[in-house]
Amino acid sequence: MALHVIRVIRELADQGSPAMHRPRNFYCAEGDDARCSKWEPNTDIFECADHVIIRLELAGIQREAISILLKNGRLTIAGVRKEKRPNETIYYHQLEIHYGLFRKVISIPEDIEHNDITAVLDDGLLEIKISKNSQVVEIPISVEGAEPKA
């Protein structure tokens, strides 16, 4: 009897929680963007002496299908990978490549958020390089109503 109870509990545990079997909803951060992500690309983030590199695996995605936005300390990389299907009847045996909309959001530290940023897409890898060299920006102060001295 006890062995049977253990087996039932083990089978239930192997099935995972009910939340795992519910369809997952992906919500976009901005309210004006109703599109939702279907997958996230594999990502590497590493740091060198003078810059931080964020590398995303985006094989089969055209440059025009990718957008990069940095706002409020959040770097958002979004886009779409379109599936190219033959026009004839096909039978799938294995599906591991993700298609459709993707979205990846990465938090950027405040001290490098406003530094130089470059992005290059080459051989299916998107590499975003953020400089760690912060430069002091001097902002001139003007007095309202005062005329500039000539």
Buried b vs exposed e over 2-31: b needs ≥16 C-beta within 10 Å? eeeeeeeeeeeeeeeeeeeeeeeeeebeee
pLDDT tens digits along 113-130:
888 899 999 999 999 999
> What residues contact 31, with CB distance under 8 A and at least 6 apart?
none
| Angle subtended at Cα 30 by Cα 26 and Cα 36, rounded to the nearest 5 degrees | 30
28-131 CATH choice from 2.60.40.790, 2.60.120.10, 2.40.128.110, 3.40.50.300: 2.60.40.790
Query: Could you tell me the pTM of the whole model?
Result: 0.66
The string of pLDDT tens digits covering residues 55-73 is 999 999 999 999 999 998 8
Q: What percent of the chain has pLDDT over 90?
A: 45
